Amino acid sequence: MAGSKRYDAIIVGAGPAGIFAALELARSGRGGRIAVIERGKPIDKRRCPARETHCVGCETCSIMTGWGGAGAFSDGKLTLSAEVGGWLGDHVGRETLERLLADADAVWVEFGATTEIHGPDEATAERLMRAATLAEMRLVPMRVRHIGTDRSPSVLQAMHDELVELGVDVRLSTAATRIVADSGHVTGVELADGTVVRSDTVILAPGRDGADWLAEQARSLGIGLASNAVDIGVRVEVPAPVLEPLTEPLYEAKLIYYSKRFGDQVRTFCMNPYGEVTTESYGDIVTVNGHSYADQRTAYTNFAVLVSQRFTHPFNDPITYGQSIARLANLLGGGILVQRLGDLRAGRRSTAKRIAQSVVEPTMPSATPGDLSFVLPYRHLADILEFLDAMDALAPGVAADGTLLYGVEVKFYSSRLELDADLQTQVAGLYAIGDGAGVTRGLLQSSASGIHVARAVLRSWHGR
């Protein structure tokens, strides 16, 4: 197309995966002309009405899109362990993954992440793992660097500023609509205004909010897709002292359990000591999440309990399944539902009066008291209750009547694209990274995938 701009590399998506790919290319001195295309806003312009009142269905969700991606306003946890955070190791191997995680972590620290690392000493880890085993759970001890919801934006802004200084063309509030390819080789990206930006190297990093778009592009280009599991559950909120035996030495307790009744994997996710419960949006759907700050505390700790389900033939759309459950919760509660654990066990909905009787004052006051048994499938509900009873043996008080459950929490892990060891698709020059490609599910592995693919791209250029 005449007049189309040409780049050496185009990166679609400005979450951690896309940012770290751009940094690696630009800092190499061999990056040439690089463009980053992001449909969301600059980080200082990202404002979410749901944080103040309720979700109003913004055309572009400021929680899920914009500079920094969905993780920009998260708890900002960097999990320094190859055992959790995604499937990048399936592509690159354990040794390479550990090196990539260390490299990505160093970049986060360089741009302002705290130098403090949370994690148990060997004796404490062994003691806690033994206690978890006696509760029929598996504890994955981890080292965690906690940036904090309040600090993350400035760290990500510093990355933006360096890329601009290095000459990267950062295009925010610019949507990519189509990947352009010819004869099995990528040639560029079509934008929402109809223009095409050209490059023989395109790195797709659209994040979780862009997962459906990425899957659609993959189908149109003949790239193979495999469905990941979908995780559905609740966010649990308890008095912080209840979990201090775990959070003090671990910061985040990663617990894995297999239910006796159904054999399903149930696990904790995103534990936020002294944090608060919040929301995130996927289009017209509002789900629950949580975060914690670096410099201020609440009296409560929250964490997710998620049930993993992988569907088999003929059903192959787990994302739609999770969305339908989230929509039902939104329908009944006008957003997020909250219920006391004691009310759930008693088979009655929670009311504002009953919530007020809880020892936990909800950190999300906009949540609607209700009955999660009208939303969650019986199998998921049974698994969650069984998990909380098992966890109560490890942290007494978790399964108390006054514990609050918010619902629903759904993690839409994207369909996994067929990728080689360099994270390149069957379309030559087209790469896919991060959460949106089904490669990762966390800040640090997402960042590491960006570094890995940038190094692969640089090797390919060197070989020309």
DSSP characters over 250-300: HSS-EEEEE-TTT--EEEEEEEETT-EEEEEEETTEEEEEEE--SS---SE
Q: If pLDDT is split at 50, 70 and 90, which confidence band does 121 have?
A: very high
Give 65's contacts (C-beta < 8 A, 6+ positions apart): 38, 39, 40, 41, 207, 209, 210
Residue 464 has pLDDT above 90, yes or no: no
Domains of the chain: 9-112+147-225+416-462 (3.50.50.60), 132-142+229-411 (no CATH)
Q: Determine which of 12-26, 50-64, 77-91, 149-163 has the lowest per-residue pLDDT on average.
A: 50-64
What are 156-167's pLDDT values in tens digits?
999 999 999 999
So what's the pLDDT on residue 2? 43
So what's the pLDDT on residue 49? 55
Q: If pLDDT is split at 50, 70 and 90, which confidence band does 414 have?
A: low
Nearest to 12 by CA among 36, 43, 31: 36
CA distance 165 to 446: 23
Residue 48 has pLDDT above 70, yes or no: no
Residue 60 has pLDDT above 70, yes or no: no
- What are the φ/ψ torsions at residue 405 (nearest 5 degrees)? -120, 125
Nearest to 330 by CA among 365, 380, 287, 362: 287
More confident: 282 or 238? 238
Residue 271 has pLDDT above 90, yes or no: yes
Handedness of CA 83, 88, 94, 98 (dihedral sign): negative
> Which residues does residue 238 pair with via DSSP β-bridges, in sequence order?
301
Handedness of CA 86, 92, 98, 103 (dihedral sign): negative
Residue the block writes with tokens 């929680």: 63
